[in-house]
Structure 1
Amino acid sequence: MSSDLLDALVALEKQKGISREVLTEAIEAALLTAYKRNFNQAQNVRVDLNLDKGSMKVYSRKDVVEEVEDDRLQISLEKAQEINPAYELADIVEEEVTPRDFGRIAAQTAKQVVTQRVREAERGMIYEEYVDREDDIVNGIVERLDARNLYVGLGKVEAVLPVGEQILTESYEPHDRIKVYITKVERTSRGPQVFVSRTHPGLLRRLFEMEVPEIFEGIVEIKTIAREAGDRSKISVHTNNDEVDPIGSCVGARGARVQSISNELNGEKIDIVEWSEDPVVFVGNALSPSKVLDVQVSEDARSTTVVVPDYQLSLAIGKRGQNARLAAKLTGWKIDIKSETDARELGIYPPEGAEVIVTHEISEDPYFEEETSTDTEDVTIDLYSDDEA
């Protein structure tokens, strides 16, 4: 065995982090298999690989017995004591049986084992790197597309962006640079498999953490996210610092921060509302930009009845019910929206002996673009399941 092998193993230990002892054990096991296969030997043998000396030897191992039944695996006590008088019954006698031309086979086998172990080690390191980045955002380059999936290069690995995780309003071309959210990393026989998303609410959360220093530093907290990817999203924010405006921090000067995030998501509109542990206040905020006159809460059914001015009904509902639907997802409450006229006819507004306590004015944020529904009927929105933000 050449000393070049020792030099190669030392280099691999430094560059790839693969222990020399691990490689040595793997090579010895492979040499043992190669010996039995190439020399049609079935006896019990041991391979001794000495990298420091650059030597490799094969030893047969035979049990010392009184009566030999298989001379490939056993040796009589008499013959064993001819080799060494100290041998006794049940001892193991080792005898070198290294074939003359075994060096060539050994070198080839060692090369194969080292190559395989290096490949496995690289896959393992890539897996460990990306499994720690689950629920994180990464930059990638679109490499190729097929009928269902998009494949995004992340540097050391190619990630899969399934069709269900793609924004329907986006078109992708090879070499496009995109930000994706790592949802899952799996270890497979072909190496680590990374799955990414452009629709996951976590992508929106990470983008805000990158764009808004107050969120990254923990001064402002994103409480909940409701997203219809590519179209519209709502996020609720909260802070314990009375000197910080959580909504203003996220919007930025002249809407610069939220506009940057919207541009990254292909123009997706983003409503930012203030979170509250009081469902009356939170539901009223979540229906922004509409004005809310009253919110009545049923704790048992986890539902709310919201009264809005007649002229604000379509705004509260939103186009195709989107505003109300996102508000229900954001708050986790069922929302039943009624116009002021209908609520008065039903006798539920104003509540007897109570005052209207929720008044949410139309947003003055220049970023907001009003979208209303053509349906002016009362609407009830149930919270439906979605990925947790």
Structure 2
Amino acid sequence: MSREIFEAIEQIEKTKGIPKETLKQAVEAALLSAYRKNFKSSHKGVSVVIDPVSGRIKVLAKKLVVENPKDRATEISLTEVRKQGLEADIGDWVEVEITPHNFGRIAAQTAKQVILQRIREAERELIYEEFYEKEGEVITGLISYQEGNNIIVDLGKTTGILPAPEQVASEVYRPGGRMKFYIVEVRKTTKGPKIILSRTHPGLVRRLLELEIPEIHDGLVDIKAIAREPGVRSKVAVEARDKKIDPIGACIGNRGSRIRNIIDELRGEKIDIILWSERPEEFIAEALNPAEVKRVELDEEQRVATVYVDQSQLSLAIGKEGQNARLAAKITGWKIDIKGIPVGEEEEIGDGEETQDTP
């Protein structure tokens, strides 16, 4: 049986990726527990080891070499030491084998459940460490099933949870569907790692852009800010480190090929790529794309921007149900008040009748 245990350890290392030494230590600890339970041993100097060559299980005990042993559990005579071929003198501590004749059978029966538990714990720890390092990254998973309001996602070695608040209202999560998910958090629990996924997090858009666009991946183009209304529309502000690079063109790609792949992954969510600027007036004007902005006035103290557009551009600047203005306010950090310029008053900008005030 001992050899079978050792072979199982080696096989699990190959198939599960758990280090052999980790498993060996877990098995030895389980066997020691089995020995203490079955042979009523309280001697603290007892250990159980598996010989890496023969696979044989040995129970060893540290004993003090004395002339006349009074406690056979902790002491040994010099004569007995010599019989066992050990080199020691009176007063030395030696490690001697005390393996009971029937220990292999008892150990196998008693330790089996403990061994399996330790192996499961080691597997869980490895999975936790692997996914903990992936927090803030994107992973591909298969929709498995729904549990309450949560969607359970198959991630290969384990499963992840897509909670209701992290689900996009317009998306359908059918079992077997393959999607990309943002890893929000990895928690350690007694039942293994709990991996919280998201389809609504702005980080999903950021990571998809990094995966799809080489200039962003290589650091030639920076993503400065993202504002998102999941499933509907996102605005992404970008800046090129090299003036020779067109950051918007790099993100969109030839005939929109690059950005289209990301839109497809987000199930049709529109993405506006805008140019970031240190100057608030310029950044706010860019953020209201596709509307053309005539003028931006800033109230620094209240952090309010009054934006003037042609009357014909007013509905475009505001967007459907105020969405464009809302996202522009979110990505710039300014409250935006949009005013339409009546026809014929383009040169002399004043208060228009229609306005949109965004928080």
- TM-score (norm: length of structure 2): 0.82
1:379 and 2:356 are equivalent in the alignment: yes
Aligned to 1:154: 155
Aligned to 1:360: none
Contact 1:45 1:58 (8 Å CA) reproduced: no
CA 295–72 in structure 1, closer or farther in 2 if over 3 Å, else same: farther
Contact 2:65 2:78 (8 Å CA) reproduced: no
Query: 1: distance between equivalents of 2:237 and 2:157?
Result: 36
How is 1:1-389 mapped onto 2 (pairs within 5 angstroms)? 2-13=2-13, 16=16, 18-44=18-44, 46-49=46-49, 50-58=51-59, 87=90, 98-109=99-110, 111-340=112-341, 349=349, 377-382=354-359
1:174 is paired with a residue whose SS is coil
CA 18–257 in structure 1, closer or farther in 2 if over 3 Å, else same: closer
Query: 1: distance between equivalents of 2:55 and 2:220?
Result: 62
- The structural deviation recorded for 1:145 is 0.8
1:318-365: CA deviations, max 9, x gaps? 222211110011112221222336xx9xxx9479xxxxxxxxxxxxxx
**Letter paired with 1:154:** L
Query: 1: distance between equivalents of 2:14 and 2:174?
Result: 39
Across the aligned residues of Structure 1 and Structure 2, the Cα RMSD in angstroms comes to: 3.3
CA 45–207 in structure 1, closer or farther in 2 if over 3 Å, else same: closer
Greater RCO, CA 8 A, separation 6+: 1
- The structural deviation recorded for 1:96 is 6.0
- The structural deviation recorded for 1:312 is 2.6
Q: Count matched residues.
A: 345
1:293 is paired with a residue whose SS is strand
Q: Which moved more, 1:310-319 or 1:285-294?
A: 310-319
Taking only the aligned residue pairs, the percentage that are identical comes to: 48
Q: Which moved more, 1:94-103 or 1:30-39?
A: 94-103
**Letter paired with 2:137:** D
Query: 2: distance between equivalents of 1:176 and 1:53?
Result: 49
Contact 1:212 1:250 (8 Å CA) reproduced: yes
Query: 2: distance between equivalents of 1:4 and 1:255?
Result: 60
Contact 1:27 1:109 (8 Å CA) reproduced: no
- The structural deviation recorded for 1:15 is 5.1
Aligned to 1:387: none
CA 303–111 in structure 1, closer or farther in 2 if over 3 Å, else same: same
Q: Which moved more, 1:35-44 or 1:304-313?
A: 35-44
Contact 2:292 2:309 (8 Å CA) reproduced: yes
1:39-86: CA deviations, max 9, x gaps? 344454613423434444445667799xx9x969777xxx96886795
**Letter paired with 2:291:** S
Query: 2: distance between equivalents of 1:330 and 1:237?
Result: 12
- The structural deviation recorded for 1:174 is 0.8
2:235 is paired with a residue whose SS is strand
CA 22–210 in structure 1, closer or farther in 2 if over 3 Å, else same: closer
CA 296–184 in structure 1, closer or farther in 2 if over 3 Å, else same: same
Query: 2: distance between equivalents of 1:144 and 1:206?
Result: 25
Query: 2: distance between equivalents of 1:212 and 1:44?
Result: 61
- The structural deviation recorded for 1:93 is 8.2
CA 226–93 in structure 1, closer or farther in 2 if over 3 Å, else same: closer
Contact 2:136 2:183 (8 Å CA) reproduced: yes
- TM-score (norm: length of structure 1): 0.76
